[in-house]
Amino acid sequence: MVRKRGIKAQELDILVHEAIIGVKSGKYKSAYAAAKAFGLRPNTVSKRIQGGSTRQEARQKQQLLSTVQEKTLLKWTKELTISGYAPSHRVLREVADEVRTNRRRVYQSHLQTQQPQQPQIPRFPLGQSWLPQFIKRHPHLRVKLGRRVEAQRMNGATKDVLGGGVV
């Protein structure tokens, strides 16, 4: 299982963000002064001010699903969980793979209409660590253990018990 992002890393991101806001608002004269005030490396603050990306942003190109696809997957998971059928890890991986396959299909058909033949991108399967990393990227997701419903309860849910008005 992939470990969660550390509290120190989260606090560091917040401090860097505050330092950038301080420099842009004029509270600090330079990136160096802001970095010194917050106890950060001056290089980090100056690179971020110049438009540098965080490690997480820089690695997005290497992810198997785009940001939009991950949002689609999150929305589907949320809707399914609200309805009472939280997806299992296996189902989530299968749907993610299907979303990825559909993107490739749409992308390849788009390329064929606008440009000459492009080389096929090899299709790598989702790895074993993909799902734990996906959950790590989206900390609001939680693993929910399913509960079995007793057979007597299921068999006892008849029209007579629930009420005569139910059809």
What per-residue confidence (pLDDT) applies to 17? 92
Per-residue pLDDT, averaged over 49-60, amounts to 83
Domain parsing of the chain, residue ranges: 7-60, 63-142
Q: With contact defined as beta carbons under 8 Å apart, do 58 and 65 qualify?
A: no
Per-residue pLDDT, averaged over 126-141, amounts to 85
pTM over 0.85: no
User: Which amino acid is present at 40?
Assistant: L
Closest CA to 12 of 50, 59, 56: 56
What per-residue confidence (pLDDT) applies to 31? 94
- pLDDT tens column, 75-131: 988 888 887 778 888 889 988 888 887 755 544 554 555 554 444 455 677 888 888
